[in-house]
Chains A and B, each alone.
Chain A
Amino acid sequence: MRRSLPLGIYRPGSTIWHRIPAGPKLGLVVLASIAVVALRGPWPCVAALGVALGISLWARVPPQVVWRGLRPFLLVVAILGAFQWWQRGWPVAVEVVATTVALVVVATTFTATTPTDRLLDAIVRGLGPFRRIGVRPEKVALAFSLMITAIPAIFEIAHETREAAKARGLERSVRANLSPMAIRTVAHAYETGAALHARGIGDD
């Protein structure tokens, strides 16, 4: 089993696409996605796909990263394409497949050029206006940090409970693996809550 997170999609760089601030860039992606979905007919959609791939090259996103972004969708896209071809002919199939792939390429290019923490910061800033309805942006920011910090600790807990279950010959037992993992997760959360509390976080 994994002991840590796999490598993310983000690739550092200095292209114009890396330099656009995360918030406006996300806005661009949304607009581009709406435009792509609104397109009709096979050739405009294929053209949109071409533009999306062009931008990914311009942003110096390695093709294998684009491929990694696409991979989870391939099966669904293939089934959809085949279904549309069978039901409504090849133009519709091309339209659906090209649109889908273009959307994924645009989104992957965004993720590949935007560091996670930058985007999370942008989200926290974007929450500012919601303060009046009770949203506390600094609490949200703390939740992001806490979660990212907790991931390695939970990996460690999962690993240790798995080893312990194995040592007792219970590696196939759901209960021996998952229950201690969940219980230790709650205990860890309480300890973290106590540590936050002790440091006066939440008092302000």
Chain B
Amino acid sequence: MAGISFDDVTVTAEAAGGDVVILRHVSAELTERRVALIGGNGSGKSTLARLINGLVSASSGVVTVDGLDVSDEGPAVRRRVGFVFTQPAAQLVMPTVAEDIALSLRRLVPDKHERQQRVLSILDSYGLAHLAATSVHALSGGQQQLLALAGVLATEPSIVVADEPTTLLDLRNSVIVADRLFALEQQLVLVTHDLDLALRCERVLVIEDGAIAFDGEPAAAVDHYRRSVATP
């Protein structure tokens, strides 16, 4: 039961004027190593991604990761699923670069001294070692996103979900972050507006109005998405 499975998942959210449906009766099995979710703003693709680690709970239906029900085994699922967010600054929670990585390692490496060594070697592999004592707010957006990625991967997840990780970055930094993501051993679920990135995946889901509008080959999916935007 490796991989991610959505079984008839519906998500509704409270809003001022009553509940709104964000995802309706979505079913899918994601086992490919590189999966992209594309679609317009507000289509529900971020919510679909957030279901995978329990950031959003399904109102009905079942989400499982490697056979584990996300709603029953949240902590176990979150140890498997790493999540990279769009906004680099909001996911850095500790004052300095080294402390932020150390926070991720709290569970994995209980010994303080050993943890410090691990932090430095991780930072070194991202070319951030010289910034260990720097405030996370003094970093550029690209460096922040790399650090966030390093913090997520430090927990050694088996699946990485990234919600528009390159949207706020310049071209150069987008390329750096994207190359890091595509070099991962792990399964990658990538929410993106960057169609070039979608084309690098093995499978692409087009989300429209809370449902899967197309699911299949990247080239065909991107083509479907382009046409759905062109014709009103």
B208 interface hit (Cβ, 8 Å)? no
The residues in A between 108 and 165 inclusive whose CB is less than 8 angstroms from any CB of B are: 142, 145-146, 148-149, 152-153, 156
Asked if B95 contacts A149 (CB within 8 A), the reply is yes
- Name the distance in Å between B106's Cβ and chain A's nearest Cβ: 8
B140 interface hit (Cβ, 8 Å)? no
Determine the chain B residues whose CB is within 8 A of the CB of A156 once the complex forms: 89, 137
Asked if A149 contacts B155 (CB within 8 A), the reply is no
B79 interface hit (Cβ, 8 Å)? yes
Determine the chain A residues whose CB is within 8 A of the CB of B135 once the complex forms: 152
Asked if B79 contacts A191 (CB within 8 A), the reply is no
**What 1/0 mask marks residues of chain B from 130 to 167 whose CB sits below 8 Å from any chain A CB?**
00000111000000000010011001000000000000
- Name the distance in Å between B116's Cβ and chain A's nearest Cβ: 16
Asked if A153 contacts B89 (CB within 8 A), the reply is yes
Asked whether A200 and B107 contact (CB < 8 A) given A149-B136, A152-B137, A194-B85, the answer is yes
A23-B116 Cα distance, complex, nearest whole Å: 25
CB-nearest residue of chain A to B81 = A198
CB-nearest residue of chain A to B148 = A195
Number of interface residues of A (CB under 8 A): 21
Asked if A191 contacts B91 (CB within 8 A), the reply is yes
A122-B85 Cα distance, complex, nearest whole Å: 33
A5-B74 Cα distance, complex, nearest whole Å: 38
Determine the chain A residues whose CB is within 8 A of the CB of B151 once the complex forms: 199
A204-B110 Cα distance, complex, nearest whole Å: 13
Which size class do B's interface residues fall under?
Answer: 20 to 34
Determine the chain B residues whose CB is within 8 A of the CB of A197 once the complex forms: 54-55, 78
- Name the distance in Å between B56's Cβ and chain A's nearest Cβ: 9
A90-B106 Cα distance, complex, nearest whole Å: 60
A38-B103 Cα distance, complex, nearest whole Å: 46
**What 1/0 mask marks residues of chain A from 162 to 204 whose CB sits below 8 Å from any chain B CB?**
0000000000000000000000000010011011111111011
Asked if A192 contacts B91 (CB within 8 A), the reply is yes
Asked if A200 contacts B137 (CB within 8 A), the reply is no
Asked whether A153 and B90 contact (CB < 8 A) given A197-B55, A199-B151, A200-B75, the answer is yes
The residues in B between 57 and 84 inclusive whose CB is less than 8 angstroms from any CB of A are: 74-75, 78-79, 81-83
Q: Which among B53, B79, B93, B155 is the interface contact of A145 at CB below 8 angstroms?
A: B93
Binding site for B on A (CB under 8 A): 142, 145-146, 148-149, 152-153, 156, 188, 191-192, 194-201, 203-204
- Taking A198-B83, A200-B155 as known contacts, 10 extra A-B pairs with beta carbons closer than 8 A to each other, sorted by chain A number, are A142-B93, A192-B93, A194-B50, A195-B85, A195-B91, A198-B55, A198-B81, A199-B83, A199-B151, A201-B93
